[in-house]
Each structure stands twice: as C-alpha cells, then as structure tokens.
Amino acid sequence: MFTTSRSAIVLLVFGTAILVAAGPPPALKDPFLDNLVGDWSVTRKMSNGRTIESTVRGEWVLKHQFIQLHYGAGEKGREYEALVFIGFDDAAKSYVCHWVDIFGATTLESVTGSLIRSCSASNFGSIPRRAR
C-alpha cells in the first residue's frame, strides 16, 4: 500500500510539473461570460415559498479562465453564500460550472453543457439584474 501511495504521489507531482512547465492557456475570451462581470442583485424563491435577495459579484479569476460568481458578496449577516466558477472547455466545446456553497460537500455541483442554463436554472433563481 505504501508503494502504491508513493507511486500516486510521484505521478501527481510529475503531472503537475508538466502542466506548470507548459504554462496556462491564453485568457478565455467569451462575450457571453463577459456579461456576468459586475455586481448583481438576485432574488430567489425557495421551495417553501420564501423569497431571499442576495448580492452577487461576478469577476474573471484564475488567469481569466473562469468567471467567479460570489453569492452573498459584501453582505453583513448573510443567510447564504456560494462561490460559482463558470468556464469553457474548448476541447469539449461546452461550458463547465462548479457550484460550492455553505451546505458543504454534500451539495457540491459540477455541471457541463452547451448552454449556461444547464448549470441549473433552479440554482440561479430569477434572472439576475445589475445592482444600482
């Protein structure tokens, strides 16, 4: 077992070294994702009928490879917080979305699709609007 673990670590280090040597890909240029940059006000209707409003900040991160949406950004006493990373897999020609929130690993979502709406419209709630 120790040999298997050591082999896995060696492969992981070697694979990471190759990726680092190759360098990151060029910045992602996606006009659709550019529209998500900024500060937003989002209203979500929960399954119990309760409505929750949150602020969302969208910005390019990780060397311009993903849009990060930060639900609850800058809110005091926020009820909900999530980090959503949306990017584009050029080889598969599809968007990818990773949703991580305060509910922990049991609700972690990773979705791919040709339309960003496949990232689960129920999670996005109503169409976000720019904060004023």
Element holding 82 (H helix, E strand)? strand 82-89
Return the pLDDT at 7.
Answer: 65
Model pLDDT for residues 70-106, shown as the tens digit of each residue: 998 877 877 788 999 999 988 888 888 998 888 887 7
What's the pTM?
0.67
Distance CA 67, CA 27 (A): 12
If 0-12 CB within 10 Å is exposed, 13-18 middle and 19+ buried, where does residue 100 land?
middle
Percent of the chain with pLDDT over 70: 64
Q: What is the dihedral of CA 31, 87, 68, 28, to 10 degrees?
A: -50
**Of 11-25, 46-60, 61-75, 92-106, the least confident:** 11-25
Q: Using 50, 70 and 90 to split pLDDT, how confident is the model at 13?
A: low
3-state DSSP helix/strand/coil percent for the chain, to nearest 5?
A: 25, 35, 35
Give 47's pLDDT tier (boundaries 50, 70, 90).
Answer: confident
Q: Helix (H, G, I), strand (E, B), or coil: what is residue 99?
A: strand
